[in-house]
Structure 1
Amino acid sequence: MCSGPATRGVAAGAAPSFAVHRRTAVQRRHRIPALPAAVILFAFGSLLLGCRSGASSPPAPPPSDEQRAQALLDPAAPLPPRAEVVALADAVAIASSRAGRNERGAALARLAADLRARAYRLDQAEADAREALELYAASASAAAGTLQGCEADRRRALLAGELARDAAVSYRETYLASRRQAVLAPRTPCHAALERTLAVAFAYRPRGDALRALEHEGDLASEAASRGVTAPSAFVASPPPSGEVSPESAPPSPAARSAAAEGQVVVTPKDTTAAKEPVKITAIEPFGSEKGGRVVIHLSGPTTFQVGTLAADAAAGKDARVFVDVARASFKGVPRETEVSGVVRRVRLGAQENGGTRVVLDLAASLYRRVFYLPDPFRIVVDVSTRPPVRKDEQDASGKREVRRVVLDPGHGGNDTGAVGPTGLKEKDVTLDIAHRAATIVSRELGVETMLTRDDDTFVPLDLRTARANAFHADLFVSIHCNASENGQARGPMTFSLDRVRDPEGLAMRVAARENASRPRKSGEAGDARSIDEEMALIASNLDVGDLMARSRHVADLVQRAALASLGVRWPDTKDQGTKTAGFFVLVGADMPAVLFETSFISNPDDEARLATADYRQKLADAVANAIRAYREGK
């Protein structure tokens, strides 16, 4: 139940943490830097929800997260510390996700967005504004075709201008929202509000070629809406550049890479490692969602490729596209066109006169892209996303980090049992149980939205696991496994991050070879494993935007320390296998800090016996959750 202005504070039964930090909204506004008058002009359009109830009737039940959020939207209500506001908004956002893409889910997403938007306007933390933009976009998409969906899109447009501190951006985003909503919904008061905002901001309307470009964007937005692409997130702020980047223009290195700062990353193999004879595209493995997608091109052998992009052409009825020209490649037996979903509409293949194949991804909008390759078996990975690849490791004044979404990856599954212990315990069963236990803690106790790459005993390809994490816009990725050794003597937990092997004993290389294997390795293939690991290190270093490898090493250290602390009290003989680096396929391409946690050696009789117990698995799940908590707290 929301309280009136005279009784604001903590109602009976409310969370104690909201009893502190009673500065008023007016007091907190003194922290806001001066904004241009044109930007302030748009702030009036951002409606703040609030509620004022009459006299309370004790005893009152504890207010729900939704009620507390509503109460904090009262313009006169004092806000608690930002960390508590963020936690409450995240709890409402998680409830929205659980409610699904319906009226209820859309309302909760907008409520969470409104709360994060108010926090941004008072504290000016950009992370709050960016999260609010995502939530508004989710609400607009879930409630497409309704007044609620239009209002969410309108608020998102206004906030985008505030974040950019540019009235021209406000005009652009409002114009695009108006074009989308004109197609999606019958006329409502929201449409009139969009028109009034455009009229007030007419002085910031672009001129000449810039106006024609904006009108063209509006045509694309209208067309996308008519085709059912309702999420405005792809249009937030300025779209990514669409110019082609060729390998020749990249700085010379073992693997070419374009400028990551522009959101376009390309990693190609050395010409000397590519086969000179023709190769064949054996399969196209697509994955799409509303926030991102991945297409994996499987080939019979290594080859070179070039990457380019093409802007949408509404007049010709063509979508924005990313294409990959694969040298000396045929595709007989592979469908010429595959429908996908979300931001990746379809994948098309076409033969080229030079004997190669062009693979085209038709996209719902201009997106950020990363294209790289993986060896053994050779495949080309095309990642597209509404989220830029370069993101700082942002910490607030208290040193805390924002961790909103986490992906837990239970290793193996289905016909891939993973390692098997002396008595028959299967790695795939242990990892799924630990992941389920950890997800419950992370979601309920930490309030972090959590996703599993598999929720049951099914096989999920390694490439798809990271794709799901990227599309989820996860902030952390933890892959959970059980270790194994040839002699069965090794014991204890070990945690990996992605990098070159620095293990003179070769243990890390053998673990990576086992986890990466798409086919059983024969005796004497250690040299192949080493060369693959070296190549993986080069690929990873070229994908290391935003210092991801260093941040992943830090997370690996937290996981390892948490595991020893969790297990050590009950099992003081737990052996510390330490943190190591290696070239794991499941980690490469993750656009967030990512680690692989080898919980214990299932090949060791004592470790296997412990892994078979609920108590031991719970302690390992606690370790994963504690490491995530420590990372979020800035440790």
Structure 2
Amino acid sequence: MKKNNKQFLSCAGLTILWFFSALSYASNQVQSIRIWPSPDNTRVVLDLSAAPEYKSFSLDKPDRLVIDLTNTNGSAALPAINGESKLIKAIRSSGDNNSMRIVLDLTNAVKPTVFALTPTAPYGHRLVIDLPDDNARLTREPPRSIRAARDIVIAIDAGHGGEDPGSIGPTGTYEKNLTLPIARRLAELIDKEPGMKSLLVRTGDYYVHINRRTDIARSMQADLLVSIHADAFTSPQPRGAAVWVLSLRRATTEVGRMLEQTERHGELLGGVAEVIRDSANERYLAQTVLDLSMNHSMVTAHQAANQVLTELAKITRLHKAQPQAASLGVLRSPDIPSILVEVGFISNPQEEQQLRNSSHQARLAQSLFTALKRHFQQAPPADSLFAQQRSREHKVQAGESLSLLAQRYDVSVDALRSHNKLANDSIRIGQVLRIP
């Protein structure tokens, strides 16, 4: 009887051992593969059933990136691949019951970044592969001439994107799918206005790193960065729009970080760096320039934020009636005036539905455009077309008539009347007329 018990226990132990061993063979699995291309980077995301155990390395002749996944079922074929990129020729795999090798065949050599992400709704465990495209770098615009009237450049940042959905509404609306259409509508309005030009930080559904967003704006010498978001809270009650600006503490911190990066002083100092060769003095000059730039940027951002709040109040409820200061990542650049506009609470059921409505999105874009145009009409950059147009103003003196002024400025009376929205030819002393 004791012998039978020993045989039973031995068999039971082997069975349990086999059971747990079998479990270990399939503890992880690649569930899907998503490719998110952007103008200068491609992100590949492997969705996994558990946290990945991995290592990666690159090979050349031909160029490849190899991802080795251990404790992963590699006996099944790769799942369907969603998306494509000019950097990736093909994705293939090999493996067995306990390991998987995934190979990305590339069109050229890259310096990849591979990292794991923990679950964040709506995604589970992920392995992310970032492939920078060195052949698609943004080219910096040539230095501006103070004599040439230029367009005012507005960088428009549609919050989140690609792998980062942002906040999620009660019915499953992704924040990233609301911010992009509003950004595109705003860009269209800006580009139709003489003297203004838009720059979309992201043009499609892909992820742009927070630091890269301000770098893109700087590379195009943007006069203002507007980041569009939708707010969220743990309860559904909060609602309304708000505008955020950079906090003084964050701005001071960022200036300090920039000063530590000596190799960036030339970029931050602009043309001044060409005549400064004394490295001992460069830091002090950079400190002065950045402090002045920071003060100007923060004042400009506050002024623009107030104009935006004035316009938003006409079409939607305000959550905060005054600009709010915060250490938000996209506002990190003290040398570029930046504002972050929360167009409403996606976590509020009524506002979620409102934000999904294309007509409401159009009204939001129009209100932002009206506010930004008014801001730059009141405080235009000195070398801009807006500044040139503002300088063509005339204060009516005694004895002057509309026909006399039309003759003096070589314009027609009709054009002068229309440009100033005059009902007739009557003008008064002290009246300021804009000259078309």
Q: TM tier, shorter chain? A: 0.3 to 0.5
- Flag the structure with more relative contact order, 1 or 2, with Cα contacts below 8 A and sequence separation at least 6: 2
TM-score under structure 1 length normalisation: 0.33
Relative to its length, the structure with more helix (as a share) is 1
Relative to its length, the structure with more strand (as a share) is 2
